[in-house]
Amino acid sequence: MTWHEGEQIGPYQIMSQLGQGGMATVYKAYHARLDRHVAIKVMHQTFMADETFITRFQREAQIVARLEHPHIVPVYDFNEHKGQPYLVMKYVPGVTLKQRILKSPLPLNDVLYVLNAVGSALAYAHNRGVLHRDVKPSNIVIDKDNIPYLADFGLARIAAAGESTLSADVLLGTPNYISPEQASGVKNLDGRTDIYSLGIVLYELLVGRVPFTADTPYAVIHNHIYTPIPEPSKINPDIPLSVEAVLLKATAKKPQERYATADEMLTALRDAVAEARLTALSDDRDSVADLSLSQYRDSMAASRIIAEPAAATPTPIAGISAPAKGYRTATVYQPAGSGRMWMIGGCGSFLGISFLGLMVLLGAWNNLLEFGEIMQSLAPAQPSGMVIALGRGSPFADLPIYPIPYIFEPAMADEALRMTPRDSFAHLTAAHTYWRSDPARSYATIAQGRQYAEEAVMYLLTAAALADENNDAAAAITYTLLALHEAEKAPDEYNRIRPAAGAYLYRAAEQIAGGTGEISLNIVGEMYSPEELRQVQDSGPRVFVTARVLLLRGNARLANAALSRGAATSDFAAEIDLVQGEIEAATRRRAQAIALWQALVDDETAPEWIQERAEELLEEHTAS
């Protein structure tokens, strides 16, 4: 449910939407009795049926409400509106630190002021058992009075809970700032994971750039875990050795080698600046760092672990990649932020990202501009050969799927599975890699990963998209049918994906008809019981796509017989009537075909793509 300008939510009147993320939308609102503006964070309707999300949201409110610090965005209220829980926070007009430094580097005094404010906020939170876990410049807001605030403790967890960042409960962190232990999925994190991230922020502010950038988030994460931090004084000669020592200690690979507390780090920084008598930094340190880090990366190229093929580019799939003229896939649902994701990817070849990086990216959807920020930070290093083809041109662009990467070496996909054998994203990523050489291995990997997928519909639709990208239309159809079967367990989910899934099945039948592949549930393995597979076999979408394949292969009689089995399937009655009309036309029953198509054009409940396709067929057959 979207809230609109002027709508009254309890005592708050909605003024405008500030942003939207994977789990929540943030609005600016006005409290008339208190005469103040606030920011309201409301959970998306999609998650309302999931008690896990609701519990997490309530826990978030309780945790953050305990934090009262002059440099932490405070929570004022927690309530529900029409069943949707929401948080009310202080509205902080201003810019993020990320936006500020993109314009020009901060003067030294401002760097020290911001670090002191954020460090003191972290020290306060850590003393109360709360970790931030996603310290970065875009979570530091500087208001119009130049006061820094540490924002988005909204997904923080009490340190004593000891939950892994890469657990099923929550995925947090940004590749450029994530600590080695957090990236590795270590449990029992403590405040030193935030100190590492704060150290990377300080490195960026003083040196001019973050220490690690690479072609993929995986490579960035790999560097955080294994590669020594580039020595600041060698990247930027303005950095005194005493300050360098602070940066290196704050960003040590092992937590026990870092500062124990944020206060200790701040004290060391002040002492180091005073010892070096440092009063200013060069205004062009970002340019200097660009050049130095480029040379540093060149020297490390020999140890690069991801191979870049010379000409890996997306291969358009004839008849499917783009909708046929006259009809299109209805826009039904996209995960929040996905439009921005594809917009960035559409500017050129989409960046290749691998498994561990993907997990971090998916968790980052909880932050309003996370994915776009990551792509922006990696864009300068973008190679021409590393791509993800699931973008605007994909027939799955209007369905809820994960942006699964392509790892160019099967051995690396094997390693991802070995490292996290219970992670569904690892299985999807590995399947994507195996497909070109061993489709059967991809089927088995997807079947194995299904048991670990919390969101079965998105998991199966992503598997379908990967099959489609690899020209395996038969498998793509099978996984789409399974996704529809899963979605039937949640009516809202089913209604969201049904039109676009139906449009894909209709078009994918052309691929099957023109090749030698057959729609088969044999690839499913042991994902479903024989009874469930019989339900899929007899379902409306399976009936109509099978009938269309038979029709396109020139066997209208068998197509009609197959279609009659699904005549009573009301949820796909429109698709069945569309194909029935094509059968009637193929058997020279023109009047019956026209009547069926006209009824679909006039049926306001039919999906938009069906109405448009029926209208196209009407024009084609009435003109002849």
Distance CA 89, CA 27 (A): 10
User: Which of 49, 98, 556 has its CA nearest to residue 372?
Assistant: 98
Judged on CB neighbours under 10 Å (0-12, 13-18, 19+), 516 is exposed
Distance CA 147, CA 155 (A): 23
| Number of residues in the chain | 624
Distance CA 532, CA 147 (A): 59
| Residue 299, CA distances (Å) to 202, 209, 292, 294, 384 in order | 24, 18, 11, 9, 21
Distance CA 210, CA 228 (A): 13
Structure tokens at 562: 């197959």
Collapsed DSSP state (helix, strand, coil) of residue 236: coil
* Degrees to nearest 5, angle at CA 436 with 433 and 438: 90
One-letter amino acid for residue 503 of the chain: A
Q: How far is CA 1 from the centre of its chain?
A: 21
Collapsed DSSP state (helix, strand, coil) of residue 439: helix
For residues 513, 517, 518, 524, the Cα torsion angle rounded to the nearest 10 degrees is -140
- Reduced 3-state DSSP string for 521-538: HHHHCCCCCHHHHHHHHC
One-letter amino acid for residue 397 of the chain: A
The crossing angle, in degrees rounded to 10, of helices 473-487 and 491-513 is: 160
Collapsed DSSP state (helix, strand, coil) of residue 158: strand
Distance CA 439, CA 230 (A): 42
Q: Which helix (H) or strand (E) holds 499?
A: helix 491-513
| Residue 114, CA distances (Å) to 109, 210, 368 in order | 9, 17, 22
**Dihedrals phi, psi of 148, to nearest 5 degrees:** -80, 145
Pairing of strands 157-158, 130-131: antiparallel
Instruction: Kindly list the catalytic residues.
Output: 134
DSSP category for residue 4: -
Collapsed DSSP state (helix, strand, coil) of residue 89: strand
* Degrees to nearest 5, angle at CA 217 with 196 and 361: 85
Pairing of strands 36-43, 75-81: unpaired
